Amino acid sequence: MRRPMVAGNWKMHGTRASVAALIKGLGKQALPGGVDVAVFPPGVYIDQAIKGLQDKKVAVGAQNCAVEQKQGALTGEVSPEQFADVGCKLVLVGHSERRQMGETNEMLNRKFAVAQAAGLVPVLCVGETLEQRQAGETLEVVGQQLGSIIEAFGVEVFAKAVIAYEPVWAIGTGLTATPQQAQDVHAAIRAQLAAKDPEVAKGVRLLYGGSVKAANAVELFGMPDIDGGLVGGASLDADEFGAICRAAGN
Ligand code: PGA
């Protein structure tokens, strides 16, 4: 059995005061023991989140990292070793909002590798745009994004990684993939991994992301290949996020 995971991506939201309020709200949530819960605050609030959430057993991750593992002369970047040093456990790799800014599969391969080398768990984000879905290219696009990592490093690296399928058209739009649409892509991702190594495929957590809310989480998480969610907007509301975490524990 795969242990479900719910991760909250706070994106570029928050102030010191609102982060404190969100942490306090999360502190009041009854989080299910059988679910891994993580949040990804903006970098400047990571330390605040780690300190505020340590009793809650909520892991904290970074939304992005440099292409270099260690510290060095790279103005404006933060290395995965530095994130690990302050207590981060995970890092998002290839969120569509960063792919749209020009991050290529090649850059993301490097980020994935240096993140793992630094001891962080990469959460590889994949997903198609609306145009690609309408053109019937969903599985091809997602297959290439995933295949890029598999070809570079082998499928075994997914024994210590998480994958998030996030259709770009469902992110922040209020449009959610139907449970069946999401399941179809998740099944294809697992099959692509299984073709190389069935054991790795069976163990890897596949999260769905794109307008996940408490109201749709139970149905989505009930699908056989959906092991939880990567939640954007709804993760900024502690009660809503808590309810999504509980939905994964059902
Ligand atoms: P959303 O974002 O839940 O606001 O759609 C999901 C994400 O981008 O990870």
Tens place of pLDDT for every residue, the chain, 250 residues? 799 999 999 999 999 999 999 999 999 999 999 999 999 999 999 999 999 999 998 999 999 999 999 999 999 999 999 999 999 999 999 999 999 999 999 999 999 999 999 999 999 999 999 999 999 999 999 999 999 999 999 999 999 999 999 999 999 998 889 999 999 999 999 999 999 999 999 999 999 999 999 999 999 999 999 999 999 999 999 999 999 999 999 7
Structure tokens at 143: 């297959």
- Phi, psi dihedral angles at 157 (to 5 degrees): -60, -20
CATH code, domain carrying 205? 3.20.20.70
Q: Could you give the number of structural domains in the chain?
A: 1
Whether 95 is catalytic is yes
**Which domain covers residue 199, as residue numbers?**
5-248
Hey, which residues does 234 pair with through a beta bridge? none
Q: Are the beta carbons of 46 and 65 closer than 8 angstroms?
A: no
Q: Which helix (H) or strand (E) holds 207?
A: strand 205-209
Residue 24 Cα, ligand 1 centroid: separation in angstroms?
Answer: 22
Ligand 1 binding site (Cβ under 6 Å of any ligand atom): 9, 166, 171-172, 209-212, 230-234
Q: Are the beta carbons of 104 and 94 closer than 8 angstroms?
A: no
Q: 9 Cβ partners below 8 Å, 6+ apart?
A: 40, 63, 92, 95, 209, 230, 231, 232, 235
Residue 234 Cα, ligand 1 centroid: separation in angstroms?
Answer: 8
Write down the pTM of the prediction. 0.98
Q: What does the pLDDT read at residue 245?
A: 98
Mutation to probe ligand 1, out of 212, 216, 240, 244 (largest number of atoms < 8 A from CB): 212
Hey, which residues does 92 pair with through a beta bridge? 123
Smallest CA-to-CA distance from 207 within 249, 166, 158 is with: 166
Hey, which residues does 207 pair with through a beta bridge? 164
Instruction: Look at the block and give the residue holding tokens 């990292």.
Output: 65
Q: What one-letter code names the amino acid at 223?
A: M
